């Protein structure tokens, strides 16, 4: 089996949008260590670093938000509760309950 470097999750839990997905790059042990030891590195930074693409994630007007890889500031349009949902999906990794692959 090839090494997994990315994974896609069912992201309906983020905003309630059926069919929403997010693709993340996997977090390495070194990145986790940096996250735990660097007070300037937070969950939002990790989401910016590891979100490769998403679909079905929208702004207040129902317009699809651009992929954070293309426009990192797109994450700033999310509500905190949505950021926490994305954070949970990211940290669960490819073996999490919402993983699609």
Q: Is the pLDDT of residue 4 over 80?
A: yes
Q: Are 56 and 36 a contacting pair, CB within 8 Å? A: no
Q: Are 89 and 100 a contacting pair, CB within 8 Å? A: no
pLDDT digits (tens, 9 = 90+) for 49-90: 999 999 999 999 999 999 988 998 999 999 999 999 999 999
* DSSP states along the chain: -PPP-EEEEE-HHHHS-TT-EEEEEPPPHHHHHHHHH-TT--HHHHHHHHEEEEES-B-TTSPBPPPTTT-GGGGGGS-HHHHHHHHHHHHHGGGSTTB--
Kindly report the pTM of this predicted structure: 0.91
């Amino acid at each position: 089996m090839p090494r997994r470097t990315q994974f896609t999750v069912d992201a309906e839990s983020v905003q309630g949008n059926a069919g929403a997905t997010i693709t993340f790059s996997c977090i390495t042990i070194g990145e986790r260590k940096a996250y735990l030891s660097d007070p300037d590195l937070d969950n939002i930074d990790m989401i910016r670093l590891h979100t490769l693409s998403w679909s079905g994630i929208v702004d207040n007007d129902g317009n699809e938000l651009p992929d954070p890889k293309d426009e990192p500031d797109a994450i700033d349009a999310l509500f905190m509760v949505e950021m926490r949902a994305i954070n949970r999906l990211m940290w669960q990794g490819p073996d999490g309950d919402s993983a699609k692959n």
